[in-house]
Amino acid sequence: MKSLFIIFILLPLMAPSGRAQPLTPKTQKPNIIILFCDDLGYGDLGSFGHPTIRTPHLDRMAAQGMKFTNFYSGSPACSASRYALLTGRLPVRSGFSWVLNPQSERGIHPKEWTLAEGLQEAGYATGCFGKWHLGTTQKAYLPLQNGFDEYIGLPYSNDMIPPQWPSIPLIEGNDTLEMDPDQTQLTALYTQRAINFIKKNKENPFFVYLPYAMPHVPLHPGKSFAGQSLRGAYGDVVEEIDWSAGEILKVLEEEGLAQNTLVFFTSDNGPWIIKDEQGGSAGLFRDGKGSTWEGGMHVPGIAYWPGTVAAGSVCSQPASTLDLYTTCLRLAGQRIPEDRLIDGKNIERLLKGEERQEEAPFFYYGAQALHAVRKGPWKLHIKTSSQTGKEYFEGKLPLLFNLHTDPSEAYDLAAQHPEIVRALKDEIERHQQQLTTEPPFFENDE
Amino acid sequence: MKSLFIIFILLPLMAPSGRAQPLTPKTQKPNIIILFCDDLGYGDLGSFGHPTIRTPHLDRMAAQGMKFTNFYSGSPACSASRYALLTGRLPVRSGFSWVLNPQSERGIHPKEWTLAEGLQEAGYATGCFGKWHLGTTQKAYLPLQNGFDEYIGLPYSNDMIPPQWPSIPLIEGNDTLEMDPDQTQLTALYTQRAINFIKKNKENPFFVYLPYAMPHVPLHPGKSFAGQSLRGAYGDVVEEIDWSAGEILKVLEEEGLAQNTLVFFTSDNGPWIIKDEQGGSAGLFRDGKGSTWEGGMHVPGIAYWPGTVAAGSVCSQPASTLDLYTTCLRLAGQRIPEDRLIDGKNIERLLKGEERQEEAPFFYYGAQALHAVRKGPWKLHIKTSSQTGKEYFEGKLPLLFNLHTDPSEAYDLAAQHPEIVRALKDEIERHQQQLTTEPPFFENDE
């Protein structure tokens, strides 16, 4: 009898995974962490095929979580992409369609109800540590007025600096902490602030939004990463982000929070390929940032939530940063706004490894204008553009691609499938009609 | 005291990985299995970044083993690549530089001492299950006369069929088993024969060489794979190969052989991109099969050997199929021939996660002629070609690329680094001098 007793004591301690389990969940509502890169391409992580950039922590995050292989940002450019993530709406619905400059009069519209506002109302502690880029010329545009309890970071892109622009501030809360901060210390700073925030708020549900300054040019790796990557400075800054993700996962483990926290890693748009070796790689996709070819918006996605998201799972159904808005609000038991159109879908089913029943069309916006639509495997381009100046199909439009069999958009099938061209054009027409009947918050004048 | 005793009994049963351990190793010499695809591109596996092809078994093999991200085939075309793998020599050293047709007078030279011959002499049971393509017009060219105890498979490419060629035989041993076999059953057949062979020889050391017919066009998925992959027929056949790899790993587990078997997965050359959706993807690399751009020869590599090769490891140092020859012979305690030049290096150090001390130059042959050389990060092209007919740099030669920072060969640095151009040209000159003083076994007349 004594020996049996010992077995019963030992087994629970070792099962199921050998990791320490918290005795009671700290909270019912899951914590949410969004790690958001700037200009990281689909092909720039080890687990997404890069031959020389080393990303062991993100690869482990994918191996122990879910890898999204058809994940999209809401826009091929900075500000609009962040707008989409935080509002769950196609940026065009606000009239917010591209990149704000430091002196822009525009900012996030006061009528928007951000993910942070929703989670704050649901009892979450909310922190933003990194690049904002949703307006700076009015206090109302800054994070603290848009749902965040804490903020530190650059208010816009790290290349918006002298001589073209005035000096860039590092903002803390609503105040300037420092002008022209040392950019080599930003990833470490954001990471440390996020970790402090997690430790401080571990008894509450919390939301951490960590929009890195990197790998946007100019590339500024931290001291211990500079010169370490085979891939050069671009690899250095990606490997530093990988380190940062590893530190975040480590604190979740140490604090016993991992099983009650969804961590989602992705990028705001594709790689800035016109920057040559200073820009990243879209892998097998065509083009990059600033374009509605796949390379511009098809980005890596990784969800990590031990015990909820199955280890080693892969989701190849389309999903986007817009969906994170709706999904995170639902996970928090929060309502989805009904007084405006929300484009994000709840992807809890995908996180649980189930199929999504009906696939909504996905619209690709370039600067202001709708360029393309995807439904199921089919993508129709009605306009195309590229920062490289290349015209890949010599002005031939519309173009139709099957992204399942031809993810690189190499073989135009418009002539073979006029019925699909027509159906997708109808989707576009319905969508544009809706934009007229529900006009954007702003005039589309950027 | 009794309770302590129980703990000591339990712990060894559960550690280290929960998997059953064989009580004694079946053999000292490790078994060797080479899974060799036909025309699979670098970008065609989930773990190498493909967005819609599902390869869970190969991804697990990579996650539990070592992923090689700078691995090369010995040639950008079929026969020569197989020659390189089985002889450890650049195919040009034999005068064997491209693709044999069914009626070619050529075949593997009798003076060659293949990996199978070396392992056979070292006491290995040796089996080849799949595509041979090293000569068929003489019995001396067939596998049984070149070191294999058993053979079944197509003797050349699965597209060398009527109307262009006579009917294709399925060969067993030295005999024709069947004409025009049902190609949809080949992957299953090869897999089953390999499994039977493993079970039959589990008490000996064994060598299994499994050169799949797929994903070479025409694509013939097995019945239960046809129409299953989002990627279409190409995805179907890759997913069937993934299943096959899973079956091989499963039998190793079941027979308690996994810890004493090196399984290496790779491809004979890059994707046949001129076949449009029927061809694969080189991921972020330029061009494909038939070219000495990276897409032609830079292929996926996965080593799996639980307990010896660290789980989740990544090797980004260059290595090639030539190295498998030397490495496998050394693992078997066999000598490396000294009466001829062997190009393959022993990469045991890489498999153990150590750095290779000195990096040898790697030469890229097109049809007959040397096109390029790589040393460290640098690749110099002195000729280029592409089956697509594209000239990527408008005839500008030589071209110099840094493959670490620019794996896609996008930014020519020849003008900036004349000293590196000169050093690599010297390497080429030394190499070509050596080819004159040690002439090939055959005249280079293919």
Q: Indicate if the pLDDT at residue A8 is higher than 80.
A: no
- Minimal Cβ distance to B314: which of A46, A284, A406: A46
A126 and A198 together in one domain = yes
Taking only Cα atoms into account, the Rg of chain B, rounded to an integer number of angstroms, comes to 22
B324 and B228 together in one domain = yes
A355 touches chain B (CB under 8 A): no
Closest-CA distance, A315 to chain B, in angstroms, reads: 9
A237 and A159 together in one domain = yes
Q: How far is CA A285 from the centre of its chain?
A: 18
> Does A44 map to a domain?
yes
> Does A14 map to a domain?
no
Distance CA B234, CA B253 (A): 29
Confidence class of residue A69 from pLDDT cuts 50, 70 and 90?
Answer: very high
The mean of the pLDDT values for chain B is 92
* Subunit contact B235:A405, Cβ cutoff 8 A: yes
B331 and B375 together in one domain = no
Q: Which among B11, B17, B48, B238 is the top mutation candidate for probing chain A, defined by the most A β-carbons within 10 Å of its own β-carbon? A: B48
**Would you put residue A352 in left (φ > 0), alpha (ψ -120 to 50) or beta?**
alpha
- Which tokens belong to B65? 């083993």
Catalytic residue (one of A57, A109, A133, A381): A133
Q: Which residues in chain A touch residue B301, judged by CB atoms under 8 angstroms apart?
A: none
What is the chain A residue with the closest CA to B295?
A: A284
Q: Indicate if the pLDDT at residue A1 is higher than 80.
A: no
Residue A238: partners with Cβ closer than 8 Å, 6 or more residues away: A40, A44, A45, A53, A55, A214, A215, A229, A231, A280
The mean of the pLDDT values for chain A is 92
B298 touches chain A (CB under 8 A): yes
Say yes or no: ipTM exceeds 0.90. Answer: no
Contact B206, B127 (CB under 8 A): yes
Report, as an integer, the average pLDDT of A345-363.
88
B315 and B285 together in one domain = yes
What is the chain A residue with the closest CA to B409?
A: A277
> Does B12 map to a domain?
no
B59 and B204 together in one domain = yes
The reported pLDDT for the residue numbered A395 is 82
Confidence class of residue B6 from pLDDT cuts 50, 70 and 90?
Answer: very low
Q: How many CB atoms lie within 10 A of CB A338?
A: 7
**Could you give the percent of chain A with pLDDT greater than 70?**
93
Q: Which residues of A242-326 form beta strands (DSSP E)?
A: 261-267, 298-304, 313-315, 319-320
A237: enclosing H helix or E strand: helix A233-254
The reported pLDDT for the residue numbered A97 is 75
Q: Which of residues A319, A351, A383 is at a domain's end? A: A351
Q: Which of residues B316, B351, B386 is at a domain's end? A: B351
A390 touches chain B (CB under 8 A): no
A219 and A309 together in one domain = yes
Parallel, antiparallel or unpaired: strands B378-381 and B370-375? antiparallel
* Subunit contact A411:B49, Cβ cutoff 8 A: no
Q: What is the CATH number of the domain that holds A425?
A: 3.30.1120.10
Q: What is the CATH number of the domain that holds B177?
A: 3.40.720.10
Report, as an integer, the average pLDDT of B390-395.
90
B69 touches chain A (CB under 8 A): yes
Q: Which of residues A351, A386, A404 is at a domain's end? A: A351
B382 and B309 together in one domain = no
Q: Residue B401 phi/psi, 5° resolution?
A: -130, 150
Using the structure block, give the residue that is written with the tokens 């079956």.
B247
> Does B23 map to a domain?
no
Q: Chain A 74-133, CB below 8 Å of chain B: which residues?
A: none
> Does B25 map to a domain?
no
A50 in catalytic set: no
The reported pLDDT for the residue numbered B444 is 52
> Does B16 map to a domain?
no
Domain hosting A97: range is 31-351
**Could you give the percent of chain A with pLDDT greater than 90?**
85
What is the chain B residue with the closest CA to A236?
A: B405
Q: Indicate if the pLDDT at residue B170 is higher than 70.
A: yes
What is the per-residue pLDDT across B248-268, written as a single tens digit (0 to 9) for each?
Answer: 999 999 999 999 999 999 999
A401: enclosing H helix or E strand: strand A399-402
| DSSP three-state, residue A206 | strand
Q: Which residues of A158-273 form beta strands (DSSP E)?
A: 169-172, 175-179, 206-211, 261-267
A376 touches chain B (CB under 8 A): no
Number of domains into which chain B is organized = 2
> Does B7 map to a domain?
no
Report, as an integer, the average pLDDT of B259-283.
97
A174 touches chain B (CB under 8 A): no
Residue B196: partners with Cβ closer than 8 Å, 6 or more residues away: none
B288 touches chain A (CB under 8 A): no
Contact A208, A127 (CB under 8 A): yes
A328 in catalytic set: no
A406 touches chain B (CB under 8 A): yes
> Does B287 map to a domain?
yes
- Residue A385's Cβ-side half-sphere holds a number of Cα atoms within 13 Å equal to 15
* Subunit contact B230:A52, Cβ cutoff 8 A: no
B330 and B376 together in one domain = no
Q: How far is CA A432 from the centre of its chain?
A: 25
B175 and B292 together in one domain = yes
B188 and B80 together in one domain = yes
The reported pLDDT for the residue numbered B443 is 65
What is the per-residue pLDDT across B78-120, written as a single tens digit (0 to 9) for each?
Answer: 999 999 999 999 998 888 878 899 999 989 998 999 999 999 9
Q: What is the pTM of this model?
A: 0.91
Q: Chain B 316-335, CB below 8 Å of chain A: which residues?
A: 316
- Minimal Cβ distance to B69: which of A52, A282, A402: A52
A285 and A430 together in one domain = no
The reported pLDDT for the residue numbered A13 is 36
